[in-house]
Amino acid sequence: MKKFSWTSGLSLFVLALAVLIALFGPLVFPGDPNLVDLAKALRPPVWAGGTWEHWLGTDQLGRDSFLRLIHGARVSLGIAAVATLLGAVIGTLIGMLAGYLGGWADALLSRLIDIQLALPVIVLALAVATVLPPSVISIVVIIAVSTWVSYARVTRAEALVLQNSEFVALSTVAGLRLPKILGRHILPNVMPSVLVMMSMDFGKAIVFEASLSFLGLGVQPPLSSWGSLIADGREFIIAMPSLVLIPSIIVAVVALSANILGDWVRDRIDPSLGAVSAAPRAELGGTR
Amino acid sequence: MGVSSYVLNRILQAVITLFAILTIIFFLTTVLGDPVAQLLPPDATAEAYAQLRTQLGYDRPLFVRYADFIWSALRGDFGESVFFRRPAMAVVLERLPLTGMLAAIAVAAAAVVGIPFGLLAGYFPGSTADRGAIFVSTVGLAFPNFVLGILLIYLFGVNLKWLPVAGVNTWQGIILPAVCLAIWALAAQVRFARAGAIESLSQPYVLLARSKGLTEGQIMRDHVLRASLLPIITFGSLQFGMLLSGAVVIESVFALPGVGKLALDSVLNRDSAVVQAVVLVIACSFIVINLVTDLAYGLVDPRVRLAKGASR
Amino acid sequence: MTRQDIPLLEMRKMSVSFPTQSGERIEVLSEVSLNIWPSEVLGVVGESGSGKSMLTFASLGLLPKTGRASGEVRLRGEALHAQHKRRMSQVRGREIGLIVQEPTPSLNPVRRIGSQLAESARHARIPADQIKSASIRALDEVNLPAEVLGRYPGELSGGMNQRVAIAMVLLQNPGVLIADEPTTALDVTTQYEVMQLLEGLRVQHEMGMMLISHDLGVIKAMADRIAVMYRGHLVELGTTEDIVSRPRHPYTQTLVASAPRLHPIEAAPLQDSGCPLLPGDPQLSDDHDHPPTLERDRRHVVWCWDAHHGHAR
């Protein structure tokens, strides 16, 4: 998996295509994904006897499935990207600060990390969902809350090491302010790890968003993501399987591609981070 | 630092975590959210609001409410479910066995299939078996669980009509959800066992064991498996905790009346008492599993015991 | 019982190569031939990377999977083949014992000493009801108390673990013992104790021994003969007396001259010796032809392109 194999190439292609569709799809294929036309409800896709007018068929309200998938890509990938970025930024900042300041800030962070690791993510999501009404913002928050810990952990460790290093000490002596020290010296050093973790988290965020939306805790109508399309189509699994199968397969393929690419980026930049994600307690297993 | 203080330390950490989680639940539900408003219809009058607020005790000072909440929570009392009209904890506990069984089946299946597969792959890196293991673990871990559930329902329920589409009225109903959870657990276990075997095989003690004339079978059994076994068991028990929460999605896909489905329904029903009870039950089982594993690990593995004794 | 006229262990034209990243194979051991005679100590000295350990691993069929070995190994006249797994499994441990450099990581950290000793005893066909008493006896021979049986390697010091490793060898009672840097990882006082112990047990159990070390001092103290290795080649072989007092190969000369120093290898005086195996002359040293062999027996032999140079000293 170290080399850029055909699987990595295919994954890159799939992901790039998905991103392009999310960005430009609605411009290239104009049309209202929420246009209700009950006369055309539950049309099959073109290969199952449908027409080219709605080549992926329509849902129970006669809305065009293809347009809904294209607009859903925007929502799904957009939420995943923003949430990944937010989690990374928050986690990195907190980790750097705690590692640099040490003392009580560090102790507090370590406790917080321990506590969050003892709490299954979905439980946290449920707890948040009871409070925040389901919306795009609440999903982004839930996903970011579930990812920030790993960034904080890694950057804290690196900041701790750098904090004791000479050039950071010299910068302090030279009178550089805290934001400058963090930005100039610590951030560049933690950046590779952060990028690797982000590339690995993106795929997970796609799945997480889809799961939440599927459960009804995610985006609400009229907005729809791939996850909510799956949820909507679910009751037609016997009558019109394409309604649920097509978005399901798209989510699976895109998530798989993002994961394969994430693994590839990790192998290229920092293979040691692999243990962190594959096995939460890998460190217990090693003898060294 | 001796064994007993290690145990005390771990128990203390678990208790702190439990308190932290209770505190988070308290603040989320009573400080950020408005539990009174959630119980009333949107067009309720201010008088009705004030009356219910007093009735439920939300007019008391925050600290009193917090102490009251903790005290009740420790007794497992989260109040009555507005939906079931019964104590929330009782509702949760009667749904627990189904979810526990699902998770147990998945962990067991993952261990029985995944560990030998992972060890085999680790022993022959680069072989067909190894590439198969990498494929299974990559796809299994990345594939969204609920999508897998839907595809399985379509294939076996709709297309082949072998198994029921949803519900647990018969024993067949549990097969597909268990498979869904098991595939994820198996993928993780394969990856973990493979890494363990590769790590262990590179150790000098394997070389010395070979130089003693042990066969490869003996080395795999008595040295590699033996050295990887504790981490593997630890991982399996952690998985059990993760699967309890993974069941939220899968139970919803298959409409199984377990804890996960209950939690989701309660969130959608705004049945705050049940949600709190579920969060506490899942978090508690997670904490207890972690604690027991850590203790067992510390007591059984000489390396952990020695390292903890030296460094902590 | 041991015949004195055939070697205990005969390694003939042993070569080992490994693939590099670019796909070529690089030779780390080139046609090295050595014999271990009954009840002698053969010292093998050379810097790290000189191929000493590869010789051991190739002889025992324990090379990493990417390594490729050629040559012939004979145990008391019987040819050994790495692919005969069953025979090799009997040979390892019971006929040829190995002691390695890092004692602690060489013992399984999650198994008690007793169970790892028992493993060796079982392989040596010691009856089950005698394993415990045999283990205690073996521990006693290496001056360790019986209570060590219940300990884990992590609870013992490096020196103690090395004695455990020696006790494991004693249980299997091989005719040949290969000790690969047995004391390098230990501190100085422990080094001395372990060497004393090894020497005593070797005499008592009538083992032939190959002692491998980068430290000529250690070798000198124990070996009957010394083989000098450099960059995968055997460059000089002779009695300890001859090697130490009349070194002929320029590398050996440097080694002997700098023996007490911390860093025994100094390139400077070798540069102008004209020897093909030396640094600074890559074209010649990459040549795969083996240097001319002058003699092959138990006397003093030098392998060097510049044979004249070798004899001149």
Residue type, B201: L
As given in the structure block, the two tokens for residue C107 are 């013992």
Interatomic CA distance for residues A178 and A181, integer angstroms: 5
Contact B272 A130 (CB under 8 A): yes
Q: Give per-residue pLDDT as tens, B144-194.
A: 888 888 888 888 877 777 766 665 566 677 888 888 889 888 988 888 888
With a cut of 60, say whether residue A134 has pLDDT above it.
yes
CA nearest to A216 within chain B: B268
Chain B contacts in chain C segment 214-273 (CB below 8 A): none
Interatomic CA distance for residues C280 and C286, integer angstroms: 11
Q: What is the CA radius of gyration of chain B?
A: 24
Contact B275 A130 (CB under 8 A): yes
Closest CA to A201 of A135, A149, A128: A149
Burial class (CB in 10 A: 0-12, 13-18, 19+), A79: buried
Residue in A128, A237, A279 nearest the CB of B192: A279
H helix or E strand, kind and range, residue C81: none
- Chain B residues in contact with A110 by the CB 8 A cut-off are none
3-state secondary structure B5-38: HHHHHHHHHHHHHHHHHHHHHHHHHHHHCCHHHH
Binned at pLDDT 50, 70 and 90, residue A90 comes out as very high
The Cα of C88 is separated from the nearest Cα of chain B by a number of Å equal to 7
The Cα of C170 is separated from the nearest Cα of chain B by a number of Å equal to 11
Contact B28 A131 (CB under 8 A): yes
Contact B205 C106 (CB under 8 A): yes
Q: Which residues pair with C73 in a beta bridge?
A: C11, C80
Strand order in the sheet with C9-19: C25-36, C9-19, C68-75, C78-80
H helix or E strand, kind and range, residue B198: helix B175-201
Q: Give per-residue pLDDT as tens, B120-153.
A: 888 888 788 888 888 888 888 888 888 888 888 8
Q: Is A227:B150 a contact under the CB 8 Å cutoff?
A: no
Give the DSSP letter of residue B223. I
How confident is the model over C176-184, as a mean pLDDT?
A: 87
SS3 A248: helix
Contact B234 A284 (CB under 8 A): yes
Q: Which pLDDT does position B299 carry in this prediction?
A: 67
DSSP string, A137-191: HHHHHHHHHHHHHHHHHHHHHHHHHHHTSHHHHHHHHTT--HHHHIIIIIHHHHH
H helix or E strand, kind and range, residue B204: helix B204-211
As given in the structure block, the two tokens for residue B230 are 């504790």
Degrees to nearest 5, angle at CA C38 with C34 and C39: 110
Residue in B139, B228, B242 nearest the CB of A256: B139
As given in the structure block, the two tokens for residue C34 are 């050595």
Binned at pLDDT 50, 70 and 90, residue C154 comes out as confident
- Chain B residues in contact with A114 by the CB 8 A cut-off are 13, 17
With a cut of 70, say whether residue C69 has pLDDT above it.
yes
As given in the structure block, the two tokens for residue C253 are 């000369």
Identify the chains in contact with B, defined as 3+ C-beta pairs within 8 A.
A, C
Chosen from B3, B205, B220, B308 to mutate, greatest number of chain C CBs within 10 A: B205
Identify the chains in contact with A, defined as 3+ C-beta pairs within 8 A.
B
What rounded mean pLDDT belongs to chain C? 79
Closest CA to A155 of A192, A189, A190, A112: A190
Contact B279 A114 (CB under 8 A): no
Interatomic CA distance for residues C186 and C280, integer angstroms: 34
Percent of chain A with pLDDT over 70: 86
Chosen from A115, A121, A259 to mutate, greatest number of chain B CBs within 10 A: A115
The Cα of B114 is separated from the nearest Cα of chain C by a number of Å equal to 22
SS3 A230: helix
CB count in 10 Å sphere of residue B271: 25
The Cα of B231 is separated from the nearest Cα of chain C by a number of Å equal to 12
Whether residue C121 lies within 8 A of chain B, CB to CB, comes out as no
Closest CA to B33 of B283, B262, B275: B275
Binned at pLDDT 50, 70 and 90, residue C288 comes out as very low
The Cα of B212 is separated from the nearest Cα of chain C by a number of Å equal to 4
Residue B80: φ, ψ to 5°: -95, 140
Q: Which pLDDT does position A280 carry in this prediction?
A: 35
With a cut of 50, say whether residue A147 has pLDDT above it.
yes
Residue type, B82: V
Q: How far is CA A233 from the centre of its chain?
A: 23
SS3 B68: helix
Helices marked H in A216-281 — which ranges?
Answer: 226-233, 242-269, 274-278
Residue in B20, B267, B287 nearest the CB of A130: B267
Burial C33-52 (b: 16+ CB within 10 A, else e): bbbbbbbbbbbbbbeeebbb
With a cut of 70, say whether residue C266 has pLDDT above it.
no
Degrees to nearest 5, angle at CA A101 with A97 and A102: 110
Give the DSSP letter of residue A232. H
CB under 8 A, 24+ apart: contacts of B216-224:
B218/C119, B220/B119, B220/B123, B222/C108, B222/C111, B222/C119, B223/C108, B223/C111, B224/B119, B224/B123, B224/B196, B224/B197, B224/B200
Residue in A115, A203, A245 nearest the CB of B17: A115
- Chain C residues in contact with B231 by the CB 8 A cut-off are none
Residue in B146, B154, B188 nearest the CB of A237: B154
Chain A to chain B Cβ contacts (< 8 Å): 163
The Cα of B237 is separated from the nearest Cα of chain C by a number of Å equal to 20
CA dist list (Å): C53 to A103, A168, C211: 49, 44, 11
Chosen from A284, A287, A288 to mutate, greatest number of chain B CBs within 10 A: A284
CA nearest to A242 within chain B: B154
| Pairing assessment for the beta strands C96-99 and C176-180 based on DSSP bridges | parallel
Interatomic CA distance for residues C38 and C10, integer angstroms: 11
Contact B227 C105 (CB under 8 A): no
Q: Which pLDDT does position C272 carry in this prediction?
A: 41
Contact A278 B252 (CB under 8 A): no
How confident is the model over A249-278, as a mean pLDDT?
A: 75
With a cut of 70, say whether residue C285 has pLDDT above it.
no
H helix or E strand, kind and range, residue C210: strand C208-213
Contact B213 C91 (CB under 8 A): yes
Q: How high is the ipTM of this complex?
A: 0.80
Contact C106 B204 (CB under 8 A): yes
Whether residue C152 lies within 8 A of chain B, CB to CB, comes out as yes
Four-point Cα dihedral A148, A151, A157, A158, nearest 10 = -140
Give the DSSP letter of residue C79. E
CB count in 10 Å sphere of residue B8: 12
The Cα of B116 is separated from the nearest Cα of chain C by a number of Å equal to 20
Q: Is C110:B301 a contact under the CB 8 Å cutoff?
A: yes
Q: Is C50:C278 a contact under the CB 8 Å cutoff?
A: no
Degrees to nearest 5, angle at CA B167 with B166 and B170: 115
Identify the chains in contact with C, defined as 3+ C-beta pairs within 8 A.
B
Chosen from A6, A111, A121, A123 to mutate, greatest number of chain B CBs within 10 A: A123
Closest CA to C275 of C254, C298, C249: C249
DSSP string, C1-64: ---SSS-SEEEEEEEEEEE-TTS-EEEEEEEEEEEE-TT-EEEEE--TTSSHHHHHHHHHT---
Chain B to chain C Cβ contacts (< 8 Å): 79
Closest CA to A157 of A145, A149, A166: A149
Q: Which pLDDT does position C32 carry in this prediction?
A: 86
Interatomic CA distance for residues B300 and A230, integer angstroms: 47
Contact B142 A119 (CB under 8 A): no
Residue whose structure tokens are 């390695």: C100
pTM of model > 0.90: no
Whether residue B225 lies within 8 A of chain C, CB to CB, comes out as no
Dmax over CA atoms of chain C, in Å, equals 65
How confident is the model over C200-210, as a mean pLDDT?
A: 88
Interatomic CA distance for residues C102 and C182, integer angstroms: 8
The Cα of A170 is separated from the nearest Cα of chain B by a number of Å equal to 31
Contact A251 B303 (CB under 8 A): no
Binned at pLDDT 50, 70 and 90, residue A85 comes out as very high
- Chain A residues in contact with B134 by the CB 8 A cut-off are 1
Lowest mean pLDDT among A26-35, C158-167, C265-274, C292-301: C265-274
CA dist list (Å): C151 to B203, B306, C109, C116, C164: 20, 12, 10, 11, 11
With a cut of 70, say whether residue C261 has pLDDT above it.
no
Q: Give per-residue pLDDT as tens, B220-263.
A: 888 888 888 877 877 888 788 778 777 888 888 888 888 888 88
